[in-house]
Structure 1
Amino acid sequence: MSSFKSEPFLWIHLAGIVTFPVFLGIVWFGLSVSDRLPILWLEILLMVGVGVLPIFLMQWARPFEIFSLLVLAMKPDKITFQQRQILSLFKTPRQQILSAATALAMVGILYGLYQLPPLTAIASSVLTQSRFVGLLIASIAFAAANLFLQVPISVLGVLSTGEQQFAKIEPYPTEKIPQDFTLTGFRVDKIIPIKPVPPEK
């Protein structure tokens, strides 16, 4: 059987981390619009509530089901034996610890963004001085940044598993995938036209 580390979906979602700094740049831009609220921590708590908690809770309770791409997701009954073993790794306590650590790191990153000088001149030339608009842009971008950090970090946690350890992993039950994982998009039989390698008997 081929190594689980050659699974294309793992590397596709790991590569999503390249968008992380782009979304952070958008967050900085959004925060630069208009004057900041008098109570800094109130604004940070709002940003954390919108941009960190939902993604963290998803990864903690119902991890993102990585066998999907854009608006397409593989039907649970089309996911192979090896792929279901990979899904089992996403439900381990270690993955929850990684999710919690990533969420805390995102809070620290958000605080760091607040310490940067605002892009006032650029922001004011593009948008009207509306704090609501700025916060909306920053919150949405921060949620996207969190997603594109949380998922790759969880993928790294899976990739750090040894081959011998992986061989002992039980595949995740097909019938439990929809209730225990977050599936997005239209469900299809196949996304990547690669013939799966059957497990060894």
Structure 2
Amino acid sequence: MSSFRSEPFLWIHLAGIAALPILLQIAWIGLAVGDPLPGYWLELIFLLVIAIAPISWMQWYKPFDIFSLLFVAQRPELLTPEQLKILSLFKRPKHRFITVLGTVLMIAGLWKIYQIAPIATPAAAFLPQWRIIGLLIASLAFLASHLFLQVPLSVLGVLFTKNEQWEKTEPIPVSNIAQSFTLLGIRVRKILPTLVS
């Protein structure tokens, strides 16, 4: 019997961490556009509300369903018992600790990037120098970067599950998936080809 760690969706979403540096760089350039508002804390609150809070809330209450890619999601009723057990692992208390850790890392990253944003002014010179445009670019980039941090972190939490814990894990009922997980995209019968060992 193959290990649950060989599930392709786990590795695909773990690889998403590679997008994090690019997205943070886009956010950095966005924050270099225009002159900061007189009350810098207003900009930070805006970024926290738009970019940090939604992903933290999602991962805390309704974690991202990893059996999806881009704009398609595998229909819950077609998941295998092993995949349903994997989803159960995302609902452990450990997952919420990981969510808090990811949120703290993103807030620290936001604060640091905000401080060094003026260094990126030459790179942002090609954009219209309206602060609102820069904030919108930064907020969208931070939102995406937060997602591409939280999901791989939660996947790592699953991959480091001990075999004994895996054996004790019960599959999540299919009827609970829609209310327990965030499913994005069109529901399809299959996304990845079946791997034959």
Taking structure 1 as the reference length, the TM-score comes to 0.94
Letter in 2 for 1:86: I
- Structure 1 CA distance for aligned equivalents of residues 64 and 97 of structure 2: 16
- Structure 1 CA distance for aligned equivalents of residues 131 and 108 of structure 2: 22
The answer to whether structure 1 residue 108 and structure 2 residue 126 are counterparts is no
**Corresponding residue for 2:185?**
185
1:115-147: per-residue Cα shift (whole Å, max 9, x none)? Answer: 2152222312x1111000000000000000000
What does residue range 79-158 of structure 1 map to in structure 2 within 5 Å?
79-118=79-118, 119-124=120-125, 126-158=126-158
Aligned residues: percent identity?
A: 51
1:57-116: per-residue Cα shift (whole Å, max 9, x none)? Answer: 000000000001111111010000000000000001110111011101110100000221
Which segments of structure 1 move beyond 2 Å, counting only runs of 4 or more?
Answer: none
User: Unmatched 5+ residue regions in structure 1?
Assistant: none
What does residue range 1-201 of structure 1 map to in structure 2 within 5 Å?
1-118=1-118, 119-124=120-125, 126-194=126-194
Taking structure 2 as the reference length, the TM-score comes to 0.96
Query: Equivalent residue of 2:194, what SS?
Result: coil
1:4-37: per-residue Cα shift (whole Å, max 9, x none)? Answer: 0000000000000000010000000000001111
- Structure 1 CA distance for aligned equivalents of residues 44 and 196 of structure 2: 46
Q: Given that residues 99 and 154 in structure 1 are in contact (C-alpha distance below 8 angstroms), is that contact kept between their aligned partners in structure 2?
A: yes
- Structure 1 CA distance for aligned equivalents of residues 196 and 5 of structure 2: 13
Q: Given that residues 27 and 139 in structure 1 are in contact (C-alpha distance below 8 angstroms), is that contact kept between their aligned partners in structure 2?
A: yes
Query: Equivalent residue of 1:134, what SS?
Result: helix
Q: Report the number of matched residues.
A: 196
